[in-house]
Structure 1
Amino acid sequence: MTARPSPGRHHCQRDEPADAPDNRVNGHRDPTIRGKPQGLVRCGRHLLWPARGRRGSPGPGGLRGARPCDRRLRGRPSGRDGRHLHLRPQHSRQPDAGGGRHDGAILWASEATIYGRFGYGLATFKASIEIERARAGFREQHIPRGTFRLLEPDEATAACRPIYDRHMSMRVGSFSRNDGWWRAEFAHDPERWRRGGGPAFFLVHETDGAADAYARYRIHSEWDDRGPKGSVDVQEAIALNPIAERELWAYLFSVDLSAKTRAFNVPVDWGMRFMLSEPRRLGMTIGDAVWLRIVDLPAALERRSYAGNDRLILEVKDAFCPWNAGRWQLEVAPDGPRVTRTDSDPDLILEAGDLGSTYLGGVSLAELALAGRVEECTPGAVGRADALLRTPLAPWCPAVF
């Protein structure tokens, strides 16, 4: 029998506290979620953002500041075998002038064919990677900088939350997390979530004493007669600058007693592709991530920022939220965007779901036009609209909900 080496001091097993809370935001009760959290929280399988905040607020913060509500997709089996899900979105009534209005909703689709029927559009993508430890070499000589700390779960939130909050202002697509989220989704790590892996580890990188990157990961141990075959599985990794990003992943690529590093969700424009000497070894694959539904079209379009000034007429088709249907003038001026009804001839004709796809800047109208999903009535209108909607970095949501 082959002896199994010790997993090492900093990767030894931790005992799960007997009183660990069973309070995930989705599917478990957490009284703080029903209060007045500071950020966006999960509602059923949705995140909803309300119509508040100044006109033309920055794109990277466009999904911040939402509040919990009871508007959610409710499903019930139908048919003899119960395999078909009948969905009744509760945000299908017209927004009003009161405080209960929401500009839109986002979700990760459990089955992509479902949500297009209700006007959701695919708005962001994610990349998955898997690289052998032996092939994770850098283009340039790696000279370590900064220091690392491994934290206990009860220390992790205080160290990681400020990094996450700063990262939100740098890239579109993430959402604010309240205290309940950090406690129940990040620090909490019950056995049933591990899928055969070890406990979660919380790693923070510091430069000159200031934390600038963190990772949450676990190790799946596996051995044969030739040595370790297991993996480092990265659940979340956030860095504030390229140096911190390189240091964080250099660590994750080289954890002792592992053969490879895997991550289910990194940005599609991940900078690590250009830091490694063999980027193809990442085995990067692209998948759909966040789907977005615009519920209140004028409010949603006025809420985001734009990359220039222009005026476009959009004809939107929306059978599910008919108050959005019709022709809208989007006028972006130095003092902010303004959206009004119009009878003028349209520059572009598109479905509400396709407008949702473009909202975060991760999908271009040019791409949708190639698929026959956008009609360009005025020559050059697709390019003009894309110039307004573009964002410097691809939108990315680090958390699956």
Structure 2
Amino acid sequence: MITRYDLLTEYCSQRNQELADALLGRKALFLDTRAWVHLRRAVSGDATQIAWLPVLHLLRELVAAGRIFCPTTMTTISEVVSQADAATRLATAELLDELSLGVGFCAPDEQLLDEVDSEMRRRVDGYEPQRVIWTKGCMTFMRPSLLELDVSLPEGLPAFERAFDEVWNTPVSRLIEATGHLPGIDVSEAIERLNAGNWAHVDEISRFDRLLGVECRAVAELAANVTHPRVRRHVVRQLIASGIPEIVAESPDERVEKAAIVAWLVEALQTDEGRRRLPALYTHAALHAQIRWMRNQRLRDNDLPDHHQVAQAIAHCDALLVDRPTRNTLRAAQIRLDQLYGVNVLVTPVELSDYLTAIASDN
């Protein structure tokens, strides 16, 4: 039975697919928050940002020419909102609108659901549906509220579409201006707990493949808990196909169903093919495993938000601009995420300028 939520979600997915079609031919370039700050300061004429001026010129030129776009993430927008000065917030937000074309990644929980849902359908039906990657920046925050609107279908669909269009067409700069300053979330205590936990188990780590397996199971368990209500119908069908009697498979036993999701995800994460199908899941697992493997390496306060963004972007962007420690982790010999996902990982404005120049020269 198709529910009201399913119908509204399908409408959102159709609009996201129309956006994806409009972006065909453009390369996606992820910029971390550090880069956005440098570029905003270059726009303002800050003499200390002279190295970023060629980058700014090339970015604007290539966006205008239909060659690239620089999608935002929920983390980027949240970090801009945390900037205390109103003029600085607005200037950064306007640059986001210009270079991103108003486009951002779907929220992390949506991307997680999309990956798991696609994997379950692949198992059940033998095909993978079209992935939903891009949305409008404001929609990243407002989609849950839209889906909760009290509208009766089908007669209420025009009202939903009007509300949807209002959010869809709202620039990120207007959202940030209306929101005002919101302090950033302090993750230092969480980081300390993770570091302490990693250090407490350091003597148990003897083989990287075992460590990676532990992390893959951890992300699979998290994914099963988050996505179970939305993918349950696929799980039940797969359980029946595997030989479990229908009356048993359709009984509402969350433990059995979640255990099945975990088992199937862990199985997929054992191969490069499966890892490419589940990039957000695998990237989280691989990055955490690599941090734990480097016995003396500790998570930094900005690692959690950075890793969240990289996990969202790595399989869907042609290039990432990140800080050097993050690149070193991505390129670690045990995981080589840059090679797995075929992405250019850049650090300096010179590297970014060279990358953009190559695109501009490729006619």
Shorter-chain TM-score tier: under 0.3
Q: Which is strand-richer, 1 or 2?
A: 1
Q: TM-score, structure 2 length as denominator?
A: 0.23
Whose Rg is larger?
A: 1
Q: Which is helix-richer, 1 or 2?
A: 2
Q: TM-score, structure 1 length as denominator?
A: 0.22
